Amino acid sequence: MNVSAHHKLFAMVMSLGLIAGCSSTGETTEDGAYGSDVSAVDQEGGSTVYGGDDDGGVSSSEMSEEQRREAEARAARAEEAAMREITTFYFDFDTSEIKTEARDVLVAHARFLQANPGQNVRIEGHADERGTKEYNLALGERRANAIERFLIVNGASRGQTETISYGEEKPAVMGSSESAWAQNRRVELVFQ
C-alpha cells in the first residue's frame, strides 16, 4: 500500500510539472527578456534555417567567403535582370534629358548588350500631341538619340542599336490630359 501512495504522489508531481511546463505565456520578465522558450538571435554568428537537433539546417555563419561572393553575384544578376524588364523611359515636357531614376536601368541594359554582342535593340522615340508633327518627330528623335548615346557610353556597341522616331504618331494613351501626355513622352527599347 505504501508503494501505491508513492506512485500516486510521483504521478501527481509529474502531472504538475507537465502542466507548469506547458503553461508558458511568452510574457516578458522583469528585465524585459522573454521566457526561457525564446532565445535571442546571435548577431555575430548568422542565422540558421531549420536547425533542429539533427544539424540538417543551413547556417549563414557556415558559408565560406566564396559561397557568400557567389550568392551576392547571383543576387546582383537577378537584380539586373529585373531592371531589364523595364523598357519604357519617360521624359519631361519638351526635353530629351534622361531622368535620374532611369539611369541605373539603362546601365543594366547597356551591360546586357555588352555581354551579348549578337543582341540588337531598336530605340523608339515618342512625343505627346502638343506641337507640330515635324517638331514632335524631331523631339522623338532627340530622345531616342539621347538613350542610344547613354547605352553606347555604358558598354553597348553602336552596331547593336537602331533609332527611330514616331513623334506623336503612336501614342501609348489616347487623350489630351497631362496624364496622357506624360505617358506619351517616352522612349521604348525593343530588343530583337
Q: Which domains does the chain have, with CATH numbers?
A: 86-191 (3.30.1330.60)
Residue 70: is its pLDDT beyond 60? yes
Helix 103-115 to helix 133-153 angle (10° resolution) is 60
Mean pLDDT of all residues in 167-171: 96
Q: How far is CA 6 from CA 12, 15, 17, 27, 85, in A?
A: 10, 14, 16, 35, 74
Inform me whether the pLDDT recorded for 86 exceeds 70: yes
For the CA atoms of 49, 51, 54, 57, the dihedral, rounded to the nearest 10 degrees, stands at 20
pLDDT grade for 84, boundaries at 50, 70 and 90 = confident
Cell 504522489, residue?
9
pLDDT tens string 10-31: 666 566 555 655 555 555 555 5
Mean pLDDT of the 127-135 span: 96
Supply the pLDDT for residue 126: 98
187: which DSSP letter?
Answer: E
Helix, strand, coil share (%) of the chain residues, nearest 5: 45, 15, 40
- Range with the poorest average pLDDT among 17-26, 64-73, 82-91, 144-153: 17-26
